[in-house]
Structure 1
Amino acid sequence: MSDILSVRSLRKTYQSAGKTLTVLQDIDFTFDTGSTNAIIGPSGSGKTTLLGICAGLDRPTSGDVVLAGQELSRLSEDELAALRNRSVGFIFQNFQLMPSLTAVENVMVPLELRKDREARAKAMDLLDRVGLSDRSHHYPIQLSGGEQQRVALARAFSNQPTILFADEPTGNLDAETSDKVVQLLFGLNREVGTTLVLVTHNAELAAQTQRVIRIKGGRLV
């Protein structure tokens, strides 16, 4: 297998009240194309910061990230945005749906950015696969948390991403709803052949992936 994501000597620091705060240091790992992976650790360990850097949403203080064959430090903000639109999917703990758009319109957003003429038909098909075709014209405020996350799941897979980053995707859901979302997540992931990178503090969820990386205090342990 080839590497879809390679992280080398990664370090991230912030300046706070005149002091240097080190959030991540000495992070090295690679993930294989098509693999399922979890990054696990306690709150405040640097998991979400690491995910943002790997996805090109944030830049490290030093070190290299190579994503889908692209060295992120060499890319401009516009080039990073184009790479994310082409190759990356996201699922967030708080869903991040656009409140002024219906379920189907939310799923259509990545497709319309790519000027896909079949955006609505593809979005409806994905909503059907996550069991929400009958809720397609509802707005996020009219949907339960589990339904919103299923819409987010459909949106994440709409552009058939090479790699999917999921940040605590079940963090705001009850146990039964979480199980349904996880089944859909892994099912769609197998179907599309996407590399999955899952950030979670849930050891049971992490155990369902092929590889688990643990972070504590900004370091791999």
Structure 2
Amino acid sequence: MSKILNVQHLEKSYQSGSNTLKILNDISFTIEEGDTFAIVGPSGSGKTTLLGLCAGLDTPDSGIVELCGTDLGTLNEDQRALLRNEKVGFIFQDFQLLPTLTALENVAVPLELMGASSADKVALELLEKVGLAQRKDHYPRQLSGGEQQRVALARAFANKPAILFADEPTGDLDMETGEKVIELLFDLNKDAGTTLVMVTHDLDLAARNQRVLNLKGGQISSIQTAV
């Protein structure tokens, strides 16, 4: 197997008034193709910032992020967006569905961006996998939180991503609904052979991944093999 994500000596700070806040300090790790990998740590430890840097949504102050064999530091914003469209899937805590589009249209968006001719057909197949084919014409406001996250799951796998980034994927859901979404996530991920990188505060969920990175104060305190 080859490395799908290579992070070396990552540093990130933000300005807060006249103060500089160090968010991440000398972060290094690698993830192999097909791995499942969790990032945990207390609130404010830099988890979401790290995920955004790994996905090319933000740029570090220094250090290297190689995603799918490409050094993100050599790409401009448009090139990073193109790489994400082709190689990356996302699941967010707040779903981030487009409110003016139906469930089917939301799932089809990544396919249409890639110019796929059968976007609606593939989108419907994915909605069937998450048990929402009958809700395909409903808008996000007409769906429960769990249903919205299942639509987001279907959308995340639409472009057959090489790597999927999930930021607190059950954070806005009750325990029972969250467990159902997680089962779907791992099932879809296994079927697709996708690499999964998730940020979570749920240690039981983290333990279902092959490795767990613990962040504390913007630094790696440990990387453990969980399963």
The alignment's TM-score, normalised by the length of structure 1, stands at 0.99
Structure 1 CA distance for aligned equivalents of residues 42 and 13 of structure 2 = 19
User: Equivalent residue for 1:4?
Assistant: 4
Query: Deviation digits for residues 82-102 of structure 1, max 9, x if unmatched?
Result: 100000000000000000000
Structure 1 CA distance for aligned equivalents of residues 18 and 179 of structure 2 = 45
Structure 1, unmatched stretches of 5+, are none
Greater relative contact order (CA < 8 Å, ≥ 6 in sequence): 1
User: Equivalent residue for 2:57?
Assistant: 57
Deviation at 1:69, TM superposition (A): 0.3
SS of residue paired to 1:12: strand
Deviation at 1:41, TM superposition (A): 0.7
Q: How does 1:52-201 map to 2 (within 5 A)?
A: 52-201=52-201
SS of residue paired to 2:214: strand
The answer to whether residue 47 in structure 2 is matched with residue 47 in structure 1 is yes
Q: Which amino acid aligns with 2:37?
A: N
Query: Deviation digits for residues 106-131 of structure 1, max 9, x if unmatched?
Result: 00000000110100000000000000
User: Equivalent residue for 2:224?
Assistant: none
RMSD: 0.5
Query: Deviation digits for residues 23-42 of structure 1, max 9, x if unmatched?
Result: 00010000010110000011
Structure 2 CA distance for aligned equivalents of residues 142 and 193 of structure 1 = 32
User: Equivalent residue for 2:225?
Assistant: none
Structure 1 CA distance for aligned equivalents of residues 44 and 136 of structure 2 = 36
Q: Which amino acid aligns with 2:170?
A: T
Instruction: Please list every run of at least 4 consecutive aligned residues from structure 1 whose deviation after the TM superposition is greater than 4 angstroms.
Output: none
Deviation at 1:19, TM superposition (A): 1.4
Deviation at 1:17, TM superposition (A): 1.2
Structure 2, unmatched stretches of 5+, are 222-227
Q: Which amino acid aligns with 2:168?
A: E
Structure 2 CA distance for aligned equivalents of residues 65 and 89 of structure 1 = 17
Deviation at 1:155, TM superposition (A): 0.1
Deviation at 1:73, TM superposition (A): 0.5
Q: Percent identity?
A: 63
Structure 1 CA distance for aligned equivalents of residues 170 and 14 of structure 2 = 29
User: Equivalent residue for 2:215?
Assistant: 215
Q: Which amino acid aligns with 1:136?
A: K
Query: Deviation digits for residues 168-189 of structure 1, max 9, x if unmatched?
Result: 0000111111111001000000
The alignment's TM-score, normalised by the length of structure 2, stands at 0.97
Deviation at 1:216, TM superposition (A): 0.9
Q: Which amino acid aligns with 1:204?
A: D
